[in-house]
Amino acid sequence: MKKVLIADDEEAGRILIKEYLSDFPDLVLLAEVNNGVDAITEINRFKPDLVFLDIQMPGKTGFEVLGYLEEIPQIIFSTAYDQYAIQAFEVHAVDYLLKPYTRDRFKKAIERLESGSKDVGALAESVIMEREDYPERVLVQQNKKLITIAVTDIIWIEAYGDYSKLHTSATTFVSNYGISGLEEKLNPKTFLRVHRSSIINLEKVKELHKYGKSYDVTMENSDIVRVSRGYLDAIKKLML
C-alpha cells in the first residue's frame, strides 16, 4: 500500500486524479490540497509515499514546496505547463503528466513508480540552498530516506570526501553538499570555518582551549574540533 496526497489548485485536476486512482486499490488517498502552503503542511503531517504535485499554485510553486519538506516522497508532477518538464526530469521525478492526460497515460505514470528513479532530492536541495536568504533547513540522508533538518540543530560540519557530515546532538547526517558549498550557503555570523575540514556552529561552542600555537574547540556534544593555523585569525577575532 502506498499513501498518496494530491496538491493541485484546480478542482477539476484533483477530481481527475481521484477518478484514475480508483483503478489502483493499493494507492490510498490521504488528503488533497489546493495551494502550496497547505501542501507543505499536509505532506509533512502525513508523510505520503507519493504526491501528485501541480507546479503553479498559490502560495508556493510545486518546486518551492519540495524545499520545505521534512521527507522527500516520490513525486509525479501534474501540470498544464510543459516548460517545466526538462527541469523535472533532470532531477529524476517519477513522471510529468501534462494536462489534459488520459487514463492510459496515468497508468503508465503509476507503472513507473517501481521501475523509474525515485530521487527528487537534487531539486529539493537546490530549492533549499538557492534561496536569497540563508536556509533554515538542509537536506540530508537518513537510512534510505531524504529528510531535512534544522540548521540550528547542526553543531559542527565535517568534510567527508565530496560530501559533508553534519553532527547534531542526536546523530550524524550526510549532506550531498561539500564543505565549501555549505560554507557559502550558511550564515557566516553563526557558522565559522576553522579548518579545511571543519565548520563550527558558534552557538554550540562549549569551550576553547589553547593547543600549542593553535586551539581546540570543544562543542556542545563534547566533540573536539581542531583549529588549523590558517584559520587562527577568525578565532582570535572572537576573543576580542
Q: For the chain, which domains are there? A: 2-123 (3.40.50.2300), 138-238 (2.40.50.1020)
Residue with cell 519538506: 69
Residue 192 makes CB contacts below 8 A (sequence gap 6+) with 199, 200, 202, 234, 235, 238
Residue 89 has pLDDT above 60, yes or no: no
pLDDT tens, position by position, 69-82: 888 888 898 888 66
pLDDT tens, position by position, 162-182: 999 999 999 999 988 899 999
The structure's pTM equals 0.59
CB 234 within 8 A of CB 192: yes
Residue 131 has pLDDT above 70, yes or no: no
